[in-house]
């Protein structure tokens, strides 16, 4: 059966908070291990800091504090003496005890003498479910009640930010890899999000969507993840629609139709569910019947938006964008607030090569959600394809100025490259490195950019003199890729080195092709 394609799925993914708790009834349970210390002054700071941390957590609506006795008993039960907290705790014991005491997070650290009357506070957050440890930047404090109290307040206020920042970074990288079809890398990054925030519903849904890709083809894993989402949020329309896609893959078309109906009931603006419903009809060999059914419904009641909606999306599913566009426009005339559908219309215009109309419609959605950076990035790409290079450049520079988005830098470089402005492209890369000096993500993104561009040029195979400049350009870009990728550190280093090895092989092949052409032409 032909695999269902969900158009511009990434565009429909709205920004969301990655905080672990949002209400008192769903507060994040936090355990505090008394901070380690090495002398009397650091012991005093440790005691005061622990007390103030407990006070702040105990009065917070976002967090629930695990009692000191419960924490001590949890460690005693696994054979660790709480009197030895001052010397530190093995991370695996923190996870085991945290699970036993029902903690979401466990906070621990050390207080050590620094210079003068300063003491350094090193603190860590363990996400119990994933055993992932987050280590914020150390803080400096003096032995005085007010500074220690202020430090405790700041630490509590920053807990969700640190957890969310780690998740956001991995999520953005996952979406970048997905946009480039790098599925293994995307899966790895999505799993890193879930290591930090195991109930990050958007990451779960997007990861399941990757598992449904034909190049990945892990339908059972996708089904498992969608069911996990529904266990967290029983009315999650995206997960219901995802299970409909799973049912389509398993050729269980009646079940697929039921899932899509449920998804639409939960969220009438879930365009992918309508698209899936049309696909279910198609998969059952009922395309003509579906079209006749929707057309008859419209003839009887031209105001039947659902029938027109399904018909328009059915045409999209069939790749008949020209016929789909009038139906979708008719719906938006009545319901201009259907943002997801307008993005579908933008995608349809893009498919027929009308990038100007695609950009116009995407801009309307962006005007209603001006803080949606992901959508702004898509608008800029439409504008670039429509020949509105200045608009695209200005929009991307605005995104960079407001958010410092690494992806905006990369797309801006692409716009300059595609418009033949190679010097401006290199300038963007310089700006990226100035904004993120030594940053492994920046090095990875720039290296990957050069690698993909160089690899594409290196694949030119016809041995003729006219292709020599192409191979020489490929060698130059692959060499630049190697320079940047060799600077990547951390968990992306292995992926970067794989690309370095591939780039070196591609350079060798290019040099061989150039040599052969030169010899044959003599």
Directed axis angle between helix 271-283 and helix 253-266, to 10°?
Answer: 160
Secondary structure, 3-state, 92-106: HHHHHHHHHCCCCEE
Give me the number of domains the chain comprises: 1
Token pair for 436: 């993120």
How many C-beta neighbours within 10 Å does residue 320 have? 14
Cβ atoms of residues 57 and 32 within 8 Å: yes
- CA–CA separation, 248 vs 330, rounded Å? 29
Q: How far is it between the farthest Cα atoms of the chain?
A: 86
Q: Check the CA dihedral 395-396-399-400 and report its sign.
A: negative
- CA–CA separation, 131 vs 99, rounded Å? 10
pLDDT score recorded for residue 268: 66
Closest by Cα among 100, 137, 141 to 120:
141
Cβ atoms of residues 7 and 316 within 8 Å: yes
pLDDT score recorded for residue 291: 82
pLDDT score recorded for residue 161: 72
pLDDT score recorded for residue 6: 30
pLDDT score recorded for residue 38: 86
Directed axis angle between helix 305-317 and helix 339-351, to 10°?
Answer: 30
- Residue 347 forms part of a structural domain: no
Cβ atoms of residues 282 and 290 within 8 Å: yes
Total residues found in the chain within this entry = 522
3-state secondary structure of 320: coil
- CA–CA separation, 293 vs 277, rounded Å? 13
- Residue 53 forms part of a structural domain: yes
- Residue 337 forms part of a structural domain: no
pLDDT score recorded for residue 293: 66
Q: ∠ at Cα 377 (371, 380), nearest 5°?
A: 115
3-state secondary structure of 197: coil
Q: What pTM was estimated for this model as a whole?
A: 0.43
Token pair for 193: 């999000």
Q: Residue 101: which CATH number?
A: 3.40.50.10070
DSSP 202: H
Directed axis angle between helix 373-385 and helix 355-368, to 10°?
Answer: 160
Cβ atoms of residues 327 and 307 within 8 Å: no
- Residue 129 forms part of a structural domain: yes
Q: Check the CA dihedral 501-506-510-515 and report its sign.
A: positive
Query: Could you tell me the residue range of the domain that residue 51 belongs to?
Result: 27-159
pLDDT score recorded for residue 9: 28
Cβ atoms of residues 134 and 160 within 8 Å: no
Helices (H), 419-467: 422-435, 440-458
pLDDT score recorded for residue 285: 80
- CA–CA separation, 427 vs 217, rounded Å? 40
Helices (H), 335-421: 339-351, 355-368, 373-385, 389-403, 406-418
pLDDT digit string (tens) for the chain, length 522 residues: 333 333 222 223 222 322 333 333 467 889 999 999 988 999 999 999 999 999 998 888 888 899 999 999 999 999 999 888 888 888 789 989 999 998 888 999 999 998 889 999 998 888 887 677 878 889 999 999 999 999 999 888 888 776 666 677 778 888 888 888 888 888 888 887 887 778 889 999 999 999 998 778 799 999 999 999 999 999 999 999 999 999 999 999 989 989 988 987 888 667 677 767 777 887 788 877 778 766 776 787 777 677 788 888 788 877 899 999 999 999 899 889 888 889 999 999 999 999 999 999 999 999 988 888 889 998 999 999 999 999 999 999 999 999 888 889 888 988 988 888 878 888 888 888 888 877 887 888 788 888 988 999 999 989 999 999 999 999 999 999 999 899 888 888 999 999 999 999 999 999 999 999 988 876
- Residue 486 forms part of a structural domain: no
pLDDT score recorded for residue 244: 94
User: Which residues, including other chains, have CB under 8 Å from residue 121's CB and lie 6 or more apart?
Assistant: 35, 45, 49, 109, 110, 111, 138, 139, 140, 141, 151
Cα–Cα distance list, 295 to 1, 199, 311 (Å):
25, 42, 8
């Amino acid at each position: 059966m032909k695999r269902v394609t969900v158009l511009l799925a990434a565009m429909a993914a709205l920004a969301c908070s990655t905080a672990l708790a949002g209400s008192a009834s769903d507060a994040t349970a936090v355990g505090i291990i008394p901070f380690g210390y090495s002398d009397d002054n650091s012991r005093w700071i440790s005691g005061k800091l622990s007390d103030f941390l407990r006070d702040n957590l105990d009065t917070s609506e976002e967090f629930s504090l695990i009692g000191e006795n419960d924490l001590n008993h949890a460690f005693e039960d696994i054979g660790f003496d709480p009197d030895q907290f001052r010397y530190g705790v093995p991370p695996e014991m923190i996870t085991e005890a945290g699970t036993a005491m029902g903690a979401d997070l466990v906070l621990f650290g050390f207080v050590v003498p620094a210079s003068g009357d300063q003491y350094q506070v090193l603190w860590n957050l363990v996400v119990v479910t994933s055993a992932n440890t987050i280590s914020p930047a150390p803080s400096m404090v003096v032995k005085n009640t007010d500074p220690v109290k202020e430090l405790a307040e700041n630490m509590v206020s920053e807990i969700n930010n640190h957890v969310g920042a780690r998740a956001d970074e991995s999520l953005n990288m996952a979406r970048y890899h997905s946009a480039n079809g790098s599925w293994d890398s995307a899966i790895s990054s999505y799993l890193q999000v879930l290591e930090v925030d195991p109930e990050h519903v958007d990451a779960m849904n997007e990861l399941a969507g990757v598992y449904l890709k034909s190049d990945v083809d892990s339908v059972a894993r996708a089904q498992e993840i969608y069911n996990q989402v529904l266990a967290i949020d029983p009315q999650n329309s995206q997960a219901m629609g995802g299970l409909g896609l799973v049912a389509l893959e398993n050729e269980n078309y009646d079940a697929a139709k039921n899932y899509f109906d449920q998804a639409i009931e939960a969220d009438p603006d879930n365009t992918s569910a309508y698209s899936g419903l049309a696909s279910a009809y198609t998969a059952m060999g009922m395309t003509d019947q579906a079209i006749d059914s929707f057309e008859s419904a419209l003839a009887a009641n031209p105001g039947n938006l659902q029938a027109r909606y399904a018909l328009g999306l059915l045409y999209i599913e069939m790749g008949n964008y020209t016929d789909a566009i009038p139906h979708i426009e008719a719906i938006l005339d009545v319901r201009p607030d259907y943002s997801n559908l307008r993005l579908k219309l933008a995608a349809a215009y893009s498919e027929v090569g009308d990038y100007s109309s695609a950009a116009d419609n995407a801009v309307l959605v962006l005007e209603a959600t001006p803080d949606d950076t992901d959508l702004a990035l898509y608008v800029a790409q439409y504008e670039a394809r429509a020949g509105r290079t200045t608009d695209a450049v200005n929009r991307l520079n605005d995104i960079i100025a407001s958010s410092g988005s690494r992806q905006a830098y990369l797309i801006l470089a692409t716009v300059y490259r595609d418009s033949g402005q190679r010097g401006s492209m290199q300038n963007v890369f310089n700006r990226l490195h100035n904004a993120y000096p030594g940053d492994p993500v920046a090095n990875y993104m720039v290296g990957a950019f050069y690698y993909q561009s160089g690899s594409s040029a290196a694949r030119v195979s016809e041995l003729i003199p006219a292709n020599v400049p192409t191979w020489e350009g490929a060698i130059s870009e692959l060499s630049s890729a190697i320079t940047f990728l060799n600077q990547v550190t951390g968990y992306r280093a292995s992926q970067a080195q794989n690309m370095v090895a591939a780039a070196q092989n591609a350079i060798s092949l290019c040099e061989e092709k150039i040599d052969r052409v030169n010899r044959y032409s003599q």
